Amino acid sequence: MGVVTVDLKMLNVWVEGLIRGGRVFGVQAKNNRFQFAPLLMAANLRLDYDVTVIPPKKYMQPAREDLLTFEGAAGFETCLDQEPFILIGVHPYDVAAIAQMDAVFSGDNVDVHYMTRRKQATVVACDVQAASANVFAGCMGTATVDKGFDILLTRVGDHYVVDSRTHKGEVILGNLVKAPKADAVSLARREQVWEDNRKYLRKHELRMAPETLPTLLEASCDHPVWEEKSQRCFSCGSCNMVCPTCYCFDVRDDVRWDLKGGARVRDWDGCMLRDFATVAGGHNFRKNRADRYRHRYYRKGKYMPAKIGHISCVGCGRCISACVTKIANPVEVYNRLLEVR
């Protein structure tokens, strides 16, 4: 696949062409923060952003979606979103998170709703240009990625290196196929960007290798940190809602007022919410805040590695920023587990 260099003007022309061709979502500024939203013009695209409030997973697993509709004796119809779309500006840690979501939703019982959207997505990743206040992707091995995207954009001075890695990427390159091939200098500068990001995207320093977390957690079930931190937890679920690797959902049937039809709907859910673990009969097997708090970290650092082979935290730092009581910092918690009790 091709690796070319383009200036900002050529990049904007390319993005405008993508917008004319179909659905495009890109990172844009909103009230001094950033979000993925429908992109209407190239001038609105911000590839120099630090972090988005909500991760791009919302385009593969929406916060709310209809799974099927039903209409009396006519039966039901499955709802599938099969319209292609492009995501522009996905940071490496979010690329890694999407890869984890792919593993979850394609394993065991395949989730046809997620996988249909995922197959329609073309991911244009962008290396981080501005470190957010709480990013620690460098500690988690997700400051850079070499797969999981269709095109990777890396800013080197006044130009971008455009690296197409898949057939999907080649399809949307358009006139960029005529752009100059990346020379040795540009490629060397890109390598420097990668090296710098692995080194500097560490606003919080994890004092262990991520792969040692399952063993550490195995021995830490009764550590006092769970009770200490959870005392300040509001059980609001903000850390779940902004996490790029949280995928839990609730399913319900919304019946119309005439009782003749409706829709089966699923919404995002989160293990930190008080009633998340409530089952039939009203029993809640994680009624205590400390149990819910501990579960979140065990899920990230122990249960998911056993399931998909990866620590389910990519170091984006969104949970740290979203928590109003400042108890959701994974690095702080995991480092505490190293202390002698």
d(CA 49, CA 127): 10
Q: Where are the domains of the chain?
A: 3-200, 210-336
**Looking at residues 256-266, what average pLDDT do you find?**
92
Percent of the chain whose pLDDT exceeds 90: 91
Prediction pTM value? 0.95
DSSP H helices, the chain, are 8-21, 92-106, 112-120, 137-140, 167-173, 184-200, 213-218, 225-230, 238-241, 289-298, 304-308, 318-322, 330-336
- Output the pLDDT for position 220: 94
Radius of gyration of the chain (CA): 22
pLDDT tens digit string along 139-159? Answer: 999 999 999 999 999 999 999
d(CA 288, CA 291): 5
- 124 closest CA partner among 72, 160, 82: 160
- Output the pLDDT for position 72: 81
**Looking at residues 32-50, what average pLDDT do you find?**
97
Q: Are 152 and 165 in contact (CB under 8 A)?
A: yes
**pLDDT beyond 60 at 204:** yes
> Can you say whether residue 77 is alpha, beta or left, with left for phi > 0 and alpha for psi between -120 and 50 degrees?
beta
- Output the pLDDT for position 212: 96
- Output the pLDDT for position 73: 77
Instruction: Out of 19-23, 89-93, 276-280, pick the least confident.
Output: 276-280
102 Cβ contact partners less than 8 Å away, ≥ 6 residues apart = 118
pLDDT tens digit string along 265-321? Answer: 999 999 999 999 998 888 998 999 999 999 999 999 999 999 999 999 999 999 999
Categorize the per-residue pLDDT at 339 as very low, low, confident or very high, splitting at 50, 70 and 90: confident
Cα within 13 Å of Cα(170), Cβ side: 5
- 216 closest CA partner among 296, 298, 294, 317: 298
Structure-token pair, residue 135: 């990013």
Question: Is beta strand 85-90 parallel, antiparallel or unpaired with respect to 121-126?
Answer: parallel
Chain mean pLDDT for the chain: 95
Tokens 């809602």 appear where?
A: 241
**Looking at residues 75-87, what average pLDDT do you find?**
94
For residue 184, the SS3 value is helix
**Looking at residues 40-66, what average pLDDT do you find?**
97
Categorize the per-residue pLDDT at 175 as very low, low, confident or very high, splitting at 50, 70 and 90: confident
**Looking at residues 85-99, what average pLDDT do you find?**
98
d(CA 32, CA 298): 34
d(CA 236, CA 11): 41
31, β-bridge pairs: none
- Output the pLDDT for position 198: 97
**pLDDT beyond 80 at 340:** no
With b meaning 16 or more CB within 10 Å and e meaning fewer, what string describes 292-305?
A: bbbbbbbbbbbebb
- Output the pLDDT for position 182: 95
- Output the pLDDT for position 75: 85
**pLDDT beyond 70 at 1:** no
Tokens 């708090």 appear where?
A: 293
DSSP letter (8 states) at residue 165:
-
For residue 81, the SS3 value is coil
- Output the pLDDT for position 341: 55
Q: Are 69 and 263 in contact (CB under 8 A)?
A: yes
